[in-house]
Amino acid sequence: MNQSVENCTMKQRSSFDYKMKRKVDDEISFTPGEREVARILLSMQKIEDEKRRTYNNNAHPAPQINIPTIPGVTNNDILFCCKPFVKKLYPTDLEPGQSRLLLNKNHVKTYFLPLLKKGEEDVREGIDVVVYDMQGNTFNMIFKYWSEKVYVLSGGRWVNFSQTHQLKAIEDHVTVWMFRHSQTNQLCFALSVRKVQT
């Protein structure tokens, strides 16, 4: 079958399918229970479509990484998650006047930036993010590219986070994940604290 005949056949089939669907929709009356099931199925389809759109709108595909269980965040809420890194805390990370956590630049460029959607790639202005700890607490921060050409999580809530977990420079480490929340489509971070046993 040549290409033009095949295209014509496909168009006819598509037109036939559409007409049959219209006929079925017009002739079938749903009970209230069936309508509710149909509404739920449509809602589920919309969520899947949104996940697909988000994936297609990503600047680059990101590797999928398992993330520890976060209270209040189900696995279904985590749309994409990328490889974490372990950050040793330094005095400048914990100075209240700095109000920022310095991130590993190479890791951010390799694993975190690919998770950004189109329009988010320029992080010099800063992106509002929600940061979760492993107890389920949330901290609103800003993911930003500073003029010194470093990536940071910044804002007063980083100070709150460090005080809440009584972080100590040199001794303590945090593991940093980035993921996208499937319900809100918001960029999120998860921080797991590892304290030195004394």
What is the per-residue pLDDT for 50?
62
User: pLDDT confidence of 142, banded at 50, 70, 90?
Assistant: very high
Global pTM exceeds 0.75: no
- Residues 82 and 175 reside in one and the same domain: yes
Task: Give me the DSSP letters along 115-177.
Answer: GSBTT-S-TTS-EEEEEEETTS-EEEEEEEE-TTS-EEEESHHHHHHHHHTT--TTT-EEEEE
| Domain-embedded: residue 69 | no
Report d(CA 149, CA 183) in Å as an integer. Answer: 32
Contact 84, 176 (CB under 8 A): yes
- Residues 167 and 84 reside in one and the same domain: yes
How many domains are there within the chain?
A: 2
Range of the domain at 126: 75-194
- Residues 106 and 28 reside in one and the same domain: no
Q: What is the CATH number of the domain that holds 159?
A: 2.40.330.10
